[in-house]
Amino acid sequence: MLTNYPEVARFVGLDPFEMLRQARINPGSLQDPENWLPGERILSLIDESARLSQRDDFGVLLGKCRTFTSIGVVTLLLKHEATVRDIIAASIEYRYLINELLHTAILDDGSNAIIEWNLVPGLQSSQGVNLVAAIAYKAISEALEMTWEPDCIHFRHSAPVHVATLKSFFQCPLEFDSSFDGMSCSSKTLDTRNPFADEILSGYARRLLNLLPRPRSESVVDKVRSVIMMIIQDTSPTIEKVAECLGVPVRTLQRRLIREGNAFSEILNGIRRELAARYLANSSHSLVTIAHLTGYSSLSSFSRWFATEFGMPPMAWRKQRRDEQGRAVLHEVAA
């Protein structure tokens, strides 16, 4: 995540070592690209760097400097997988070797496909999402040496002031204020052959990767959160629908959640809080649209829930947050 951070920070007029100190990250830890750092600190550093430099394209600037090989040892496999679909599936399978802050899923109805990426549950950062988008896009496009492009890259947040940076980096149409973060294309193009595919080399790479230690398996809570994120914008995310997607009986899912000390309603409420705050603060979506994107069928239901959770109506919260952001920018300009 922080490859080339000092160089990019200097480029936008920041002292990288002071920024790292404030984020409680040892500059020496950046010397080893395989070092693992707390996700909250990394995202806080990227967001604060964007705010202080007034560069709302900071995440993409950071991703733009990456090379394909800087993604890690998994690039040996990605380079030689048979199709675009296989490259994406391999990046999902070995995501723990690329970036544990990133969760990716392929949604394919046979005609159109979406490759959706999100930060793992509990983390929010528009700059982090932009960096994740840049890393994911680079991993796929450079594995194919720019012989394939998606139809569109989608962002939940509104168009940034420095949108030109994004347009020059992503060589395809961009959609802001989208209902998801990710890329879209036809199902047919996902099966485009990789001109560099080599079955022997990909098999060799997979055997090497499988020798590396794996993290603990994904918890039931993580799986439930992933399914809710996937279906919430299209339907009311009930426990029955989530259980169906996971292929388990409802009672079995309930027992497993209780065993991990969680209730479905608490998980759903937490996701709604994350999404509502993110859409209100970083997008131009209407309240009706945000209600739909957080799984509510009516604006009145969403507004009642929001007022209970945040202590004020959604429009008042949005105004307060944007006023705070405006004052912060004016303060930095004055300083």
pLDDT over threshold 70, residue 79 = yes
Tokens 């549950």 sit on residue: 121
pLDDT for res 218 = 64
Q: Are residues 202 and 225 in the same domain?
A: no
For 152-180, how does the pLDDT look when each residue is reduced to its tens digit (9 = 90+)? 999 999 999 999 999 999 989 999 999 88
Give domain status of residue 21, yes or no.
no
Q: Are residues 251 and 323 in the same domain?
A: yes
For 239-266, how does the pLDDT look when each residue is reduced to its tens digit (9 = 90+)? 999 998 888 899 999 999 999 889 999 9
Domain count, the chain: 2
CA distance 299 to 139: 39
CA distance 195 to 98: 23
pLDDT for res 14 = 93
Q: Are residues 96 and 238 in the same domain?
A: no
For 9-53, how does the pLDDT look when each residue is reduced to its tens digit (9 = 90+)? 999 999 999 999 999 988 888 877 667 777 888 889 999 999 999
Give domain status of residue 190, yes or no.
yes
Q: Are residues 267 and 324 in the same domain?
A: yes
Residue that terminates a domain, selected from 210, 241, 259: 210
User: Domain residues for 280?
Assistant: 220-334
Q: Rounded to 5 degrees, what angle do the CA atoms 8, 332, 58 make?
A: 25
What six digits make up the tokens of 103?
Answer: 């969760």
Residue that terminates a domain, selected from 210, 240, 264: 210
pLDDT for res 227 = 83
What six digits make up the tokens of 306?
Answer: 């929001």
Q: Are residues 169 and 298 in the same domain?
A: no
Phi-psi region of 215 (alpha: psi -120 to 50; beta: other; left: phi over 0): beta
- High-pLDDT (> 90) share of the chain, %: 46
Parallel/antiparallel/unpaired status of strands 152-154 and 174-175:
parallel
Residue that terminates a domain, selected from 210, 231, 248: 210
pLDDT for res 314 = 95
Q: Are residues 186 and 89 in the same domain?
A: yes
Give domain status of residue 31, yes or no.
no
pLDDT over threshold 60, residue 64 = yes
List the CATH number of the domain containing 258. Answer: 1.10.10.60
Q: In the chain, at which residue ranges do the beta strands (DSSP E only) sit?
A: 102-108, 112-119, 152-154, 174-175, 182-186
Binning pLDDT at 50, 70 and 90, where does residue 268 land? very high
Q: Are residues 202 and 234 in the same domain?
A: no
Q: Are residues 79 and 188 in the same domain?
A: yes
Give domain status of residue 22, yes or no.
no
Q: Under a CB-based contact definition with an 8 Å cutoff, are residues 305 and 287 in contact?
A: no
Give domain status of residue 193, yes or no.
yes
Binning pLDDT at 50, 70 and 90, where does residue 298 land? very high
Query: Average of pLDDT values for 284-303?
Result: 92
Q: Are residues 196 and 231 in the same domain?
A: no
Binning pLDDT at 50, 70 and 90, where does residue 4 land? confident
Q: Are residues 160 and 113 in the same domain?
A: yes
Q: Are residues 157 and 183 in the same domain?
A: yes
Q: Are residues 84 and 176 in the same domain?
A: yes
Q: Three-class SS of residue 1?
A: coil
Residue 83 has what DSSP assignment?
B
Residues 17-41 as b/e (b if ≥16 CB within 10 A, e otherwise) read eebbeebebeeeebeeeeeebebee
pLDDT over threshold 80, residue 234 = no
CA distance 28 to 2: 12
Sheet containing strand 112-119, edge to edge, reads 102-108, 112-119, 182-186, 152-154, 174-175
Binning pLDDT at 50, 70 and 90, where does residue 222 land? confident
pTM summary value: 0.74
